[in-house]
Chain A
Amino acid sequence: GNSVTQMEGPVTLSEEAFLTINCTYTATGYPSLFWYVQYPGEGLQLLLKATKADDKGSNKGFEATYRKETTSFHLEKGSVQVSDSAVYFCALSEHAGNMLTFGGGTRLMVKP
C-alpha cells in the first residue's frame, strides 16, 4: 500500500533560519504530492502541491520538488518566521477519489 514518511519533530529554529522538512513516499503508481499546514487550533490547509515528476510546488515562500528518482518531496523555506510555527503534513494521492495518505506530521517551532 501507499505510505508517507516524514522526519519526526519537533523542529525548533530561530527566526530567519533555513527550513527543510524531509518527506519520502511509497506508492505503486504515480501519485500527486501535497504539503498541508495545520496552525494551532485550526484545520489543515493546503500549502502546495505537485502532480508530476520534477514539478515544483511553491506558496508563501515554501517550496517542494517532486523527485521521482528518490521518491521524495522535501519542504524548504529560505527564511522562516515565527508565524510559520505549525504542524506540517506531507501527503500523497494516487487514486481518483481524493483519497489522501498522510505522513505523521512534523511540528515546527520558530523562536524570535
Chain B
Amino acid sequence: EAQVTQNPRYLITVTGKKLTVTCSQNMNHEYMSWYRQDPGLGLRQIYYSMNVEVTDKGDVPEGYKVSRKEKRNFPLILESPSPNQTSLYFCASSLSGTVIPGELFFGEGSRLTVL
C-alpha cells in the first residue's frame, strides 16, 4: 500500500529536549516536505527536499533541521524544542517537484506538545 508514515504520532516533551520526527514514503517519490498546522493558519511549509541531499527552507524553518540522506526518508529534527513549536506536523511527498505540481501525499500527522 502506497503511504507516508510518520512517527511518533503523538509526543509530549519538555523545552530543550532534542527530538526527531521520522517520515518515510514507499512510493519512490523525489519530493518530500514538512508542514505544520496551527488553528486558523492552515498549513505552513517548514522545509522541503527536491531529491536526495537537496533540501531548502520553506516559510517557517526557524528552530527546525532536516536531512535527506536516502530517497525514502526525510526526518524533522527539533534541536531545542520550545513551546511555540507545539503543533500538528505533516510530512508529504510527491513524484516530482520540477514540473507543474502533482498530487501531494500526506502522512497522518504527528501531534507534538512542548511543555
* Chain A interface (Cβ < 8 Å from any Cβ of B): 4, 32, 36, 41-46, 49, 51, 89, 91, 93, 96-100, 102-105
Contact = CB atoms under 8 A, between A and B. Distances in A.
A103 B40 CA distance: 9
Contacts of B44: 102
B108 A43 contact: yes
B21 interface: no
B38 to A, nearest CB: 9
Contacts of B100: 32, 51
Given A98-B31, A100-B43, 19 more contacts: A4-B42, A32-B101, A36-B104, A43-B4, A43-B92, A44-B92, A45-B106, A46-B103, A49-B103, A51-B100, A89-B42, A91-B43, A96-B98, A98-B48, A98-B96, A98-B101, A98-B102, A104-B40, A105-B42
Contact of A102 (B43, B56, B107, B108): B43
A100 B109 contact: no
Interface string B30-51: 0101010000111111001010
Contacts of A43: 4, 90, 92, 106-109
Contacts of B99: 96
A98 B101 CA distance: 5
Contacts of B85: none
Interface string B10-22: 0000000000000
B21 to A, nearest CB: 14
Nearest to A43: B106
Contacts of B106: 43-45
Contacts of B108: 41-43
Contact of B97 (A4, A49, A96): A96
A66 B56 CA distance: 29
A44 B43 contact: yes
Nearest to B93: A98
Contact of B104 (A96, A100, A103, A104): A100
